[in-house]
Amino acid sequence: MILGARYCLAAQPATQKGGLIALDDAMGSTASSRSLESPAQVGSRRKVLVRAAITAVLILVLLLTLDVNEMIRALRGIPPGVLVVVLVLLAADRVLMGLKWRHLVNGAGGRMRVRDAVAIYYQSGFAALLLPTSMGGEVLRGVLGQRAGVPVQLVLASMVVEKLVAGLSSVALAVVGAIYILAVTNSEAALVAWLVAGSSLIVVAALSLAGSRKVHHWIGGLARRWLPARGFRVLDQFSASLVGYRRRKAVLRTNLVLNIAEHLLQFTALYLLARGLGIDFGLVPFLAVTAVVMLVRRTVGFLESWWLAETAVVVLYTLFGVPEALSVGLAFALWATSIVAALPGAFLLYQGGLGLGDRWVGGVSPAAAPDLSRTSSPYS
C-alpha cells in the first residue's frame, strides 16, 4: 500500500533525385487509376473491430460488477466549488493545448494566430469528446488548420509531432511517478514497472518511426499503387516536414516544457475531482500513480478510441486500490467537466467560424503563411 493511505493507490520539398517523388517517377503514374483495396483500408477495419471488441468486453465487465448507486452518490457529493475550479483548470488546459500546437506550427515556419489556434483546439476538442474515436476531432483540427492558412503538410506534421512530444512528456512524468511509488512501497511494484516500461517502449518506437525518412520511403512504396500522383506528393511533403522537426531542437525542448505544464494542469484537475469523490490518499501519491495511469491511457489512445482509453483508466485505478465505483465516477466526472469546459468550441462550430473574432473570405486567415509546397522549404 502506498504510504499506508486510505486506498492502496494512495518541410523540405521533395526533389527529383530522392525521397518519395523519385520512387513516384520510377514506378510511373498508371497505378493511380487502380481501384484495388489498400492494405491500410483492410487494416483500418480490423483495427476498428479489435478496439470495439476489447472495449465491449471491458465495459461489460464493469457493468456487471459496478455499484451504480455508490457511483451516483459519490458524484452528487462533489462540492460545487470544486467543480467550478476544475472547469477553470480545464479551460486553461484547452488554451495551453492551442498555444503549444501553435508553437510547433510557427516554430517550423508557419504562421498561426493565437486566437485561431485556441479556437481550433476548442472546436476539435469538443468534437473528440462526443465522437467514439478521437480521430474525428483530429480530422476537424486538420481541416480548420488549413482554413487558417497553414499548408496541409505542416498541419499534419505539427499534429503528429505534438502527439509524440506529449508522449515523451508522459513518459518523463511516469518515470518520476514510478520511482516514487517503488521508493515508498513494495505493493504493485511489478505492475508499475511493466506498465511504464511497456508504454515507454511504444512511445520510443513511435518517435523512431516518425523521424525516419527511410521508413517513410518504405511506407510510400507500399502505398504508391493506391494513391493518385497529387496525394503521393502531399505524402512526400508531409514526410519532409515531419522529419524536418529533428532540426528544430530548441522548438522541441520548449514544447516539451509546455507539455509537462499542461499535463500537470490536467493532473491537478483530476486530483480535485478525486477529492470531491472521496478518494483521498495524499497529493503526491495521487500524482505519482496518475502519471503512470495517464501514460498507459495515452499509449492505449493510439488505437484512436477514447472509450477504450477511459476504460483503461478505470481498470488501472481499480488495480491500484480505488473502489471500482469511484474509479468509474472519476473517469465520468473528468469526461463531463471536459465537455462543459469545451462548450465554447460547440458555439464556434455552430457559428461556422474559425477565429474568436474576425472572419475572412474563403476561410483564409490574414496571417496565412505561403504554401510551403510551392516555395522553398523551411527545412532546407
22 domain-assigned: no
Residue 165 lies in a domain: yes
Contact yes or no for 216/246 (Cβ under 8 A): no
- Does residue 38 form part of some domain? no
Residue 132 has pLDDT above 50, yes or no: yes
Look at residues 241, 214, 231, 219 and name the one whose alpha carbon lies nearest to residue 13.
241
C-alpha distances in Å from residue 101, one per residue of 141, 253, 343, 357: 11, 13, 20, 20
Query: Whole-angstrom Cα distance, residue 125 to residue 342?
Result: 7
- Please count the structural domains in the chain: 1
Give the pLDDT mean for 263-281.
92
Higher pLDDT, 54 or 3: 54
Any domain includes 378: no
Nearest alpha carbon to residue 316 among 195, 170, 161? 195
Q: Is residue 13 part of a domain?
A: no
Determine, yes or no, domain membership for 271.
Answer: yes
DSSP states of 65-108 as a string?
H--HHHHHHHHHTS-HHHHHHHHHHHHHHHHHHHHHHHHHHHHT
**Residue 101 near residue 158 (C-beta atoms within 8 A):** yes
Q: Which of 37, 44, 38 is nearest to 303 (CA)?
A: 44
Q: Is 256 among the domain residues?
A: yes
**Does residue 178 fall inside a structural domain?**
yes
Indicate whether 279 pLDDT > 60: yes
Lookup: cell for 189: 511494484
Predicted confidence (pLDDT) at residue 8 exceeds the cutoff of 70: no
Give pLDDT tens digits for 324-334. Answer: 888 888 988 99
Q: Mean per-residue pLDDT for 237-252?
A: 91
Mean pLDDT, residues 135-161: 91
| Domain carrying residue 332 | 79-363
pLDDT on residue 111: 92
Cα–Cα distance measured from residue 257 to residue 255, given in angstroms and rounded to the nearest whole number: 5
